[in-house]
Amino acid sequence: MNSATQQSAGLPSPVAGQERRLNIGGMPKVPLMLFLFALAGVILVVAASWYTLQSLREALRGSAWDGWWITAGAGVLALASLAVVRPLWRAFQRCRGVRAAAGRMDIVAARIERSDACVQSWIALGHTLAQFLVVLGFQFLLANNQAVAKTFFLVPLIVKTFPLVLDAFWVNVKIFLIAEMLVLVWGLIVALAMFAPGAAGKPLRFIATAYVDVFRSIPAVLVIYLVGFGLPLTGVPILKDLSLTTYVVIALTLTVGAYVAEIYRAGIQSVH
């Protein structure tokens, strides 16, 4: 592109004897502060992990689950806790690469090494945070002489009550299967009632809309209490003799049916 073309295009013409240079900045430096921050985090989380494993080992050795496998498992977990050192070591190598590239005055290689050092340092910090959350969870379980663990994770009690829990879970599955079929049908009926046409269908639309709004605003557990404990007290000939499972199915159908009816309504309106 000559000077006439540059002037016609509105571009400034270069001055004679003056070269255009790209300002790419100076030689990049080692991300020392970020690396030191990651190093401190890794040291703290590894120390906290080992302390937690020691506390967990002592707690298990004082229980009925004492054995050689406790010490072996603690040793394996202690070695696994050192996994956060790997990205930190990579960050250290990249920092050395930055210094080496700067010594050779290779600005491109120095920038690449610095970028990799920052990435590895952030990876180390991310792994450190995740491991810290795990350690914090175990410390919560071991707090107050393992009060939380004994309350929620007492293995002998879990084994003893497992058949009872399994039977209750099967009842829950049956309730889910029955209620799901009824909810789909009931929700569709209510959704169609919300679209009742004309002035003749206005009362039906009002009742269906009020039902959906009311039952969506009431907690499901409250509806279960009202139906499960309220209907037997009414003395109505058929309703008072139903089983507890039937009451739960009715309550879930009324509550979840309101949500499903709203889903049906939104889907129908999106099509039309």
pLDDT at 181: 95
| pTM higher than 0.95 | no
Average of per-residue pLDDT across 223-231: 90
My answer on whether 145 and 188 are in the same domain is no
Least confident range of 25-39, 91-105, 149-163, 183-197: 149-163
> Which pLDDT score is estimated for 9?
47
Task: Give the torsion sign (CA, 250, 251, 256, 259).
Answer: positive
Split into its structural domains, the chain has a count of 2
- Is 202 found in the same domain as 115? no
Q: Give residues with Cβ within 8 angstroms of 139, minimum separation 6.
A: 52, 55
CATH code of the domain in which 185 resides: 1.10.3720.10
Please report which helix (H) or strand (E) contains residue 158, including its range. helix 155-193
| Cβ contact 233:205 at 8 Å | no
Q: Answer yes or no: is 223 within a domain.
A: yes
Residues 51 and 90 in one domain: yes
Last residue of a domain, one of 103, 124, 153: 153
Domain that residue 267 falls in: 161-271
**Residue 98 near residue 38, CB atoms below 8 Å:** no
Listed residues 153, 185, 208: the one ending a domain: 153
Between vectors from CA 39 to CA 34 and to CA 44, what angle results, nearest 5°? 130
| Co-location of 146 and 177 in the same domain | no
∠ Cα 127 131 137 (to 5°)? 150
pLDDT-derived band at 159, boundaries 50, 70, 90 = confident
Residue 7 lies in a domain: no
Residue 23 forms part of a structural domain: no
d(CA 263, CA 119): 45
In the listed set 90, 122, 153, which residue is the last one of a domain according to the structure?
153
Q: What pLDDT sits at residue 3? A: 47
- The per-residue pLDDT of the chain, averaged, comes to 86
Q: Is 189 domain-assigned?
A: yes
Degrees to nearest 5, angle at CA 163 with 159 and 165: 90
What is the tens place of the pLDDT at every residue in 52-76? Answer: 988 888 877 766 666 677 788 888 9
Confidence category of residue 25, pLDDT binned at 50, 70, 90: low
Assess whether 146 and 89 both reside in one domain: yes
Name the residue with higher pLDDT: 71 or 46.
46
Judge whether 11 lies within some domain: no
Answer yes or no: is 13 within a domain: no
Q: Are residues 141 and 167 in the same domain?
A: no
Calpha distance 118→109 (Å, rounded)? 14
Within this chain, do residues 140 and 177 fall inside the same structural domain, yes or no?
no
CA distance 85 to 54: 20
Does residue 203 fall inside a structural domain? Answer: yes
pLDDT of amino acid 145? 80
Reported as a pLDDT band with limits 50, 70 and 90, residue 50 is very high
pLDDT given for residue 6 in this prediction = 47
- Provide the pLDDT for residue 16: 45
User: Looking at residue 4, what is its pLDDT?
Assistant: 46
Higher pLDDT residue, 8 or 150? Answer: 150
pLDDT category of residue 128 using cuts at 50, 70 and 90: very high
Same domain, 173 and 213: yes
Q: What angle do CA 251, 254, 258 make, to 5 degrees?
A: 145
Same domain for 72 and 174, yes or no, is no
Question: Tell me: the pLDDT tens digits for 81-123?
Answer: 999 999 999 999 999 999 998 888 888 888 999 999 999 999 9
Residue whose entry in the numeric block shows the structure tokens 């979840």: 256
Tell whether 129 and 189 lie within a shared domain.
no
Domain identity same for 149 and 115: yes
Q: Please tell me whether residues 169 and 144 are part of one structural domain.
A: no
Task: Tell me, yes or no, whether 56 lies in a domain.
Answer: yes
What is the average per-residue pLDDT within 6-17?
A: 48
pLDDT at 239: 82
Q: What are phi and psi of 78, to 5 degrees?
A: -65, -40
Predicted pLDDT of residue 154? 78
pLDDT over 60 at 43, yes or no: yes
